[in-house]
Amino acid sequence: MPAFTKCDVIWMNGAIVPWADAQVHVTAHALQYGTGVFEGMRAYDTATGAAIFRLDAHIRRLFASARAYEIELPYTFEHLCEASREVIRANKLENAYLRPLAFFDSHSFSVWPKDCPVTVAIIAVPGRQYIQGGPDHGARVTVSTVRRIELQTLPPYVKACGHYTNSVRAVQEAIRRGYDDALMLNAEGDVAEGSGANLFVVRNGTVITNDIDASIVLGITRDSVLRIARDLGLPVEIRPMSLTDIETADELFFSGTAVEVTPIREVDGRLLGDGNPGPISRRIQAAFFDAVHGRLPQYEDWLTYA
């Protein structure tokens, strides 16, 4: 993703503050130890104004992630939903990427974050493509040597700041190899996900993805894609995915807030099909973009208008 464009304001600790004033001290516990949780959300332009995609689900997941690390959020679910809408309005955004963030702030260098205050912020910037050209032309990926974190070490389904050092290592390796992103395997050697996105395989007309036991984040876009695929009448399988599934796939695509629905056209130098996004990926992608822009009434409940 290219560098973000700074906006006018950020919602932070209950107030709208100027971008330059949204500061954290260098001694913040989360900076020292990664003890924060976050969400990625998008807002899209619709015929009736900017709408945040699946806001309720994202804020619920933020609370669930916070509970996993005993971060007591000092705001209600309703307050954070309204704050998300407020920061969109305050920055006069239509298509936006939002980053709700909650973390242990400055108090002690103890690993135990006892008595650390909790800071909560919601950042909104103009939305951009995560992988340049990806949704239209497809991404090039490599199978990483970096394994995905597993449940016995850390809860991989939690969107915690410190967990993403795992993804950083994988994507650094992928880009050094000349690719856009990485495919990560789990401890069992099965395919988990990308560095920041869930993975779908299409084979013989069936849409296949894995589940929480594969050490993945249960993506909200993933859940939306599964509903769209079923609504389109496509067979769906949820099961472990192996490297053989990748090697024999007719199509592959990523799903996630940042990548949206991005086809994969190449894995470790091997083109899928003719190297163009496949027909089922395109059908799902088209329905997804129609849904988020408010063009499909059956998915209206996914949209919260700012």
288 located within any domain: yes
191 located within any domain: yes
pLDDT for the residue numbered 134:
82
2 located within any domain: no
Domain termination site, one of 87, 102, 126:
126
What share of the chain in percent tops pLDDT 90?
97
Structural domain of residue 196, as residue ranges? 134-292
Task: Tell me: do 166 and 270 sit in the same domain.
Answer: yes
6 catalytic residue (yes or no): no
Identify the CATH number of the domain in which residue 184 sits.
Answer: 3.20.10.10
Pairing of strands 9-12, 118-126: antiparallel
Q: Tell me the mean pLDDT in the region 121-149.
A: 94
Task: Tell me: do 75 and 148 sit in the same domain.
Answer: no
Structural domains counted in the chain: 2
Cα angle, residue 194 at apex, residues 191 and 195 outer, rounded to 5° = 130
What share of the chain in percent tops pLDDT 70?
100
Q: Which of 6, 92, 114, 159 is catalytic?
A: 159
Task: Tell me: do 190 and 103 sit in the same domain.
Answer: no
Q: pLDDT tens digit string along 18-41?
A: 999 999 999 999 999 999 999 999
As a three-state string, the secondary structure of 170-221 is HHHHHHHCCCCEEEEECCCCCEEEECCCEEEEEECCEEEECCHHHCCCCCHH
176 located within any domain: yes
Separation CA 203–CA 252 (nearest Å):
9
165 within 8 A of 153, measured Cβ to Cβ: no
pLDDT band at 135 (very low <50, low <70, confident <90, very high): confident
300 located within any domain: no
Amino acid at 198: N
pLDDT band at 1 (very low <50, low <70, confident <90, very high): low
pLDDT band at 54 (very low <50, low <70, confident <90, very high): very high
pLDDT for the residue numbered 133:
80
What does pTM read for this prediction?
Answer: 0.96
Q: pLDDT tens digit string along 220-238?
A: 999 999 999 999 999 999 9
Q: Which class for 289: exposed (0-12), middle (13-18), buried (19 or more C-beta within 10 A)?
A: middle
Domain termination site, one of 79, 108, 126:
126
Task: Tell me: do 247 and 163 sit in the same domain.
Answer: yes
Domain termination site, one of 96, 126, 156:
126
Q: pLDDT tens digit string along 68-102?
A: 999 999 999 999 999 999 999 999 999 999 999 99
Identify the CATH number of the domain in which residue 42 sits.
Answer: 3.30.470.10
23 located within any domain: yes
pLDDT for the residue numbered 132:
82
Task: Tell me: do 140 and 279 sit in the same domain.
Answer: yes
301 located within any domain: no
